[in-house]
Chains A and B, each alone.
Chain A
Amino acid sequence: MHAVGTAGPRIDGMEQTTGRTKYTDDMTLPGMLTGRLARSTEAHARIVSIDTSAAEALDGVEAVLVGTDLPITYGILPVSQDETALAVGKVRHVGEPVAAVAAVDAATAERAVDLIKVVYEPLDTIASIDEALETDHDLIHGEGVGQNVHRTAALEFGDVDEGLASADHVREDVFYFAGNTHAALELHAALATAEPGGRVTLWSSTQVPHYVHRTLAKVLEMPAGQIRVIAAPVGGGFGGKTDPFSHEIVAAKLAMVTGRPVKFTLTREEVFYAHRGRHPVLMWVKTGFDTEGRITACHFKTFLEGGAFGSYGAASLYYTGALQTSTYQIPNYRFEGVRVFTNKPPCGPKRGHGTPQPRFALECQLDKAAEDLGLDPVAIRLINAVEPNSMTVNHLRITSCALTECIERAAEVSDFKEKFESLPTGKGVGIAVGAYMCGAGLPIYFNDMPQSEVQIKVDRGGGVTVFSMATDIGQGSTTMLATVVAEVLGLEPSDIAMVTADTDLTPVDLGSYSSRVTFMGGNAALQAGIAVKDRVFGAVADKLGAPVESLVAQNGRIEDAEEPDTGVTWAEAVALAIASGGPLIESGSYKAPKLAGLYKGAGVGISPAYSYSVAVVEVDCNPDTGIVNVEKVWLAHDIGQSINPLLVEGQIEGGVYMGLGEALFEADDFRGALHRGPSLLDYKMPTSLDMPPVESIIVDSHDPEGPFGAKEVGQGPLLPVIPAVANAIWNALGIRMDQTPFTPDKIVAALRDVARGKPGRIGPKEVPAFEFPPLIMVEPPEGFPTGRTHTGAGVS
């Protein structure tokens, strides 16, 4: 392979690093208006009246909208259509959009927002999981839901009671994972225009142009064909730009009303209110072990604080229970979960979507169990590690899996065992593992169409243009697609022109979420590339009188593999193909094999492949100040096959950075229902000075269905970092951090407890006595636990 597996710069890297890339907020159109949203200053209230007359009368204001102008509900999941573009009837959190203005400039728009007078009748505010479960009046989403419960789940695979009864050692632990947010550098922005004929175009910093397209069609009551959505270059997403947002819909509506382009760019404060970040999750975990540390059964309960809307929450809930089994052989497994509404900005998917929280709990509990059983943290992970080509008890199909190799290599390269035994007090190492999906097995809305489509058009001069709706959010998906096509056609990635993320021009890719683009978009690009290659090879074979099988595409030529002098240039080959077969336009697509087990909730967690990550973290803690200095992180990642190792390392380092932030610094803290500090000064993301060196250990397991064997790296590497930090703090100081983030005040408090003879542990003590619905009992897969599985569909 000449292109795949070669470390190289992104094909759009030069524009980005020299400031030439035009993000949404950089764009200006003639006559453009500035849009601003008036946001709720109440956490929970009925809207008595909205008076927009003064704003409308202000010179320079072109239009004002309120909730009744856009009354149709929407939401990213078909089961949670609970949002409106602007609040209708009531507000559910501080910062919820209530009205919108379009004005000639920002200052006028700002003044107009000040002039909108909203009269509220406050309702009781619900600001915690406990309050949500206890309150039976002033329900956030009205009558009939029962308390403020959004969704529940209760599943059992195998026989957990028997598994626990047969255990030699049983642990029960409670953990809390604080909510936190994406904090992408680029603020959300959207720019809309409406043509006199009625067509609407929206540029947006979104990860999901296809879902925004569908939402606009629904809320604006327009045929999708009259709407064009373009994802402009996105300055970081991390899951924060994966929902359709108020400002996108409102920009389009205001453009239609005024006949002029309208641009919204949110402030940092507004982004904290738009949120969709990590759910706060309270967890109770009971796990049985035999004397050698093998897990006999696991019972996992999760309580998710969802904020004011559904968003991805129904999926998030199941994700807090779905992937525990993807790393460890758990023969009997019970999962009970509940997601509640509170009067806070809605939570949704952030890098790892619903899985970092239970991963933190599981990996910390495993560390404690190892301590109880006199095992080392590496051994207990190795003895439980899942094996390639196996089924999990909850019907996840595991194919390629280098978990064991990742554990061994991370431990070896970091000298884990030696350090674990011998580092002095204050210094320590911790280890943890994780796994993540390579794309959700099912699309967000039910359909039988491909999840990714790619089209390739070849110009008569040989120029190759790839069309894909895959959205580059900084992860490098555009470079990945170009590299896959270049590999097939014997070209360089920089030879490929890319047209992406435009609903008018590009065939559908569902979006940049669930780590799906390399696996799904990559496979579609591979199939499209092969189709182009087949046509070109056929034409060249005719011309040369050589068999197709003897041809290779390399060095910008189509050559006879045996006699490289016999061949034609790529441009000549393309001309031959067009002459013989007409326009050289081919396409490819990918649809995941049917993998879902037959039970409610089985659609969450299934994926055509899983990546595996192992982190070792070394810390130096100051016992006086409680400040944890991370000295180094080793991160082994089973990538399957690197399409571009430089981008793989970039994603690993980014995941480690974000994981360390969640472990040590970041939390969405609230005073009641009000965010404690919606700014980048108060929300403590690590600075460059807080970032340790990261050693990436890339492990290739060559997935049988991934494009060239590739798997994901966008989300997986974050997962083990957080528990590895907690476990390292234990090794360093002998205290247990069962609650994120591990801030210096918690460290010092735990050490002071130890000094007074108390257990040095920070974390919740119990979970609410919530009555989960009756368990759905699910038989383990046939042949479990030794069941091997065939590999399914995909692209040949």
Chain B
Amino acid sequence: MTIQVPPVGFVSAGTLEEAARLVSDPAERAVLIAGGTDLVPKLKRRQTAPITLVSLADIEAMHGIAITDDGSCVIGALTTLAEIADSSDVPPVLATAASTVASPQIRNSATIGGNLCVDTRCNYIDMPLTWRQARGHCLKDGGDTCWVAPASNRCWAISSTDLAPVAIALNATVRLVSSRGERVVPAEVLYRSDGIDYLTKTPDEILVDITIPAHTTRNSFQKLRRRGSIDFALLSVACAVDLDTEGTCTSARIVVGGIASAPVSATDAETFLAGKQLTPEVIEEASEIASKPVRAQDNTDTGQRYRKWMISVHVAKALNEAAAERA
């Protein structure tokens, strides 16, 4: 049968200020909801039990895509992934990433704000209730052990946002608003490598929009998944490289998603690439460097060994595609 959503209050905020006020009251145990494509299944599986859902859907100001005078692209958090995938105003690499998320139906509802803030995933918690009772509740699920790495004292759930690696590679910033004020932080700073406490955004802060500065880089997004649709990334790679007129790399950003509790910047590989021509040999070496520090866990589909192997394959693929792109 259709699993029921347990009883929960629902308030649709008319303005950002109202939403910020509603979500600031700790007694309400309020949770923000936008497209609901990630949250509603979690409610049904009883992974979370808020008292109130505060819907952002009616806040008109949080919708839409705008280009500012300096060429930056500002995307309201409620803009759907389908809108972004179809947009010619956003960087093509972001549209590509958005078009690979889940399925057409989900992209029609899911938002960029929801994707950037999407909960970390793990196949010990994103499971039905009977299963979790049989296995024993994990650390993220109110238990005291992370079943992925029982000896560790943290949660190893995986960051599964496809848009965050792109946002980080393109030096995007996000604007966070709360009843206490407003701050703008680099996308990279939004994330923390902890499966439970995976965002530096506080629960009362609302991600209002994302700004992608005008860029000159050549970009690529690569996603590995089992099936042609639906699946979360086993691995995603976003890269942005700047080449001078001689074809020498002046700067590179390489960000790997879907492999750790936060997007991973391959800083050693980025440093390695600076000042080099993107020859096949250089790309191969950079991709090996990128995969070195990353440790995959056994908490998603396919083994950790394979996902580790695939990092260099996809970094190389991304760099090759970026190098071939016309800036």
Binding site for B on A (CB under 8 A): 25, 34, 39-43, 94-95, 106-107, 110, 187, 189, 265-267, 269, 273, 624-626, 665, 671, 674-679, 681-682, 684, 686-690, 743-745, 748-749, 752
Contacts and interface: CB of A to CB of B under 8 A. Distances in A.
Interface string B114-138: 0000000001001110110111000
A688 B230 CA distance: 11
Interface in B271-327: 301-303, 305-306, 309-310, 313, 317
A625 B131 contact: no
B131 A678 contact: yes
A561 B130 CA distance: 68
Contacts of B7: 107
A655 B231 CA distance: 23
Contacts of B224: 625
B226 A665 contact: yes
B134 A744 contact: no
B123 A269 contact: no
B27 interface: no
Contact of A269 (B130, B135, B226): B130
Contacts of A189: 1
A687 B229 contact: yes
Among B1, B224, B226, the one with the most A-chain Cβ atoms within 10 Å of its Cβ is B1
B128 A269 contact: yes
B131 A687 contact: no
Interface of B: 1, 3-4, 6-7, 123, 126-128, 130-131, 133-135, 224, 226-231, 301-303, 305-306, 309-310, 313, 317
A110 B127 CA distance: 17
A689 B100 CA distance: 13
Contact of B227 (A43, A110, A265, A686): A686
B123 A687 contact: no
Given A674-B131, A676-B123, A745-B303, A684 B1 contact: no
A41 B134 contact: yes
Given A267-B1, A686-B227, A687-B227, A39 B123 contact: no
Contacts of B305: 745, 749
Contacts of A187: 1
Contacts of B123: 676-677, 682
A678 B128 contact: yes
Contacts of B226: 665, 684, 743-744
A273 B134 CA distance: 12
Contacts of A273: 130
Contact of A675 (B1, B131, B303, B310): B131
Contacts of B309: 748, 752
Contacts of B3: 267
A756 B123 CA distance: 33
A744 B306 contact: yes
A687 B1 contact: no
Given A107-B7, A187-B1, A665-B226, 15 more contacts: A34-B1, A41-B130, A41-B134, A94-B131, A266-B1, A269-B130, A674-B131, A674-B135, A675-B131, A679-B128, A682-B123, A689-B227, A690-B228, A744-B306, A745-B302
23 contacts: A42-B134, A94-B131, A95-B130, A106-B1, A107-B6, A107-B7, A110-B4, A187-B1, A269-B131, A678-B127, A678-B128, A679-B128, A681-B126, A681-B230, A684-B231, A684-B301, A688-B229, A689-B228, A689-B229, A690-B227, A748-B309, A749-B305, A749-B306
A749 B306 CA distance: 8
B264 to A, nearest CB: 19
B302 A687 contact: no
Contacts of B301: 682, 684
Contacts of A748: 306, 309-310
A529 to B, nearest CB: 41
Given A676-B123, A684-B226, A745 B130 contact: no
A34 B4 CA distance: 13
Contact of A94 (B130, B228, B229, B306): B130
Contact of A745 (B127, B134, B306): B306
B230 to A, nearest CB: 6
Contact of A39 (B1, B130, B302, B317): B130
Contacts of B306: 626, 744-745, 748-749
B155 to A, nearest CB: 18
Contacts of B134: 40-43, 94-95, 674
A678 B135 CA distance: 13
Closest 6 CB pairs of A and B: A689-B228, A745-B306, A265-B1, A269-B128, A41-B134, A41-B133
Nearest to A106: B4
A690 B226 CA distance: 10
Contacts of A94: 130-131, 134
A688 B131 CA distance: 29
A40 B6 CA distance: 22
A273 to B, nearest CB: 8
A265 B127 CA distance: 19
A502 to B, nearest CB: 24
Contacts of B317: 624
Q: Which of A674, A678, A744 gathers most chain B CB within 10 Å?
A: A744
Contact of A25 (B1, B127, B135, B229): B1
A684 B131 contact: no
Contacts of A689: 227-229
A42 B131 CA distance: 10
Nearest to A42: B134
A43 B133 CA distance: 12
Contacts of B313: 624-625
A356 to B, nearest CB: 21
Contacts of A752: 309
Contacts of B228: 687-690
Nearest to B130: A39
A107 B4 contact: yes
Given A106-B4, A745-B303, A748-B306, A677 B229 contact: no
Nearest to A752: B309
Nearest to B310: A625
Nearest to B304: A745
Nearest to B123: A677
Contacts of A678: 127-128, 131
A144 B303 CA distance: 40
A41 B130 CA distance: 6
A107 to B, nearest CB: 6
Contacts of A679: 127-128
Contacts of B4: 106-107, 110
Nearest to A111: B6
Nearest to B128: A269
A743 B302 CA distance: 8
Contacts of B133: 41
A338 B4 CA distance: 43
A110 B313 CA distance: 47
Contacts of A675: 131
Contacts of B231: 681, 684
Nearest to B313: A624
A40 B305 CA distance: 33
Nearest to A682: B123
A625 B224 CA distance: 8
Contacts of A269: 128, 130-131
B100 to A, nearest CB: 11
A563 B317 CA distance: 76
A404 B3 CA distance: 51
Contacts of A39: 130
Contacts of B127: 677-679
A189 B1 CA distance: 8
A745 B302 CA distance: 7
Nearest to B312: A624
A687 B230 CA distance: 8
Contacts of B6: 107
